[in-house]
């Protein structure tokens, strides 16, 4: 699996973000956010594996812009990617099954 895809959080759990997933799959980040919101999983699974992060960025000419992304666990990532198609998705699915 791509080394830039995952990192470890403070508790040592493997995580990634919706921004990283968008970059790896060549998708628009807004589409990955939509895909996560539309997952047909239980609320318990959703809340345990996807955390919405909100970041305020100061703009150079004043004011601020709100940026959102999801931080997801390995299980959340696997659940999301199982719905994706294409060569990149197939390779990641193979790696999930092998490991």
**Would the pTM of this model clear 0.85, i.e. be above it?**
no
Q: Map out the domains of the chain as residue ranges.
A: 7-86
Question: Which tens digit of pLDDT belongs to each residue from 24-53?
Answer: 899 999 999 999 999 999 999 999 999 999
- Per DSSP, the three-state class of 85 is coil
Longest dimension (CA), the chain: 50
Phi, psi (deg, nearest 5) at residue 84:
-90, 155
Residue 45 CB contacts under 8 Å (≥ 6 apart), including other chains = 75, 76, 79
Instruction: Give the DSSP per-residue string, 3-70.
Output: TTT-EE-TTS-EEEEHHHHHHHHT--HHHHHHHHHT----HHHHHHHEEEEEEEEE-TTSSEEEEEEE
In tens, the pLDDT along 43-91 reads 999 999 999 999 888 888 888 888 999 999 999 999 999 999 999 889 8
């Amino acid at each position: 699996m791509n080394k830039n895809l995952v990192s470890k959080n403070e508790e040592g759990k493997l995580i990634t973000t919706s921004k990283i997933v968008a970059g790896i799959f060549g998708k628009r980040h807004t589409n990955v956010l939509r895909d996560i919101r539309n997952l047909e999983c239980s609320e318990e699974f959703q809340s345990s594996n996807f955390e919405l992060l909100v970041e305020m960025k100061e703009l150079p000419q004043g004011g601020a812009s709100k940026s959102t992304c999801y931080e997801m666990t390995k299980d959340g990532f696997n659940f999301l990617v199982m719905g994706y198609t294409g060569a990149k998705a197939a390779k990641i699915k193979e790696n999930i099954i092998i490991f």
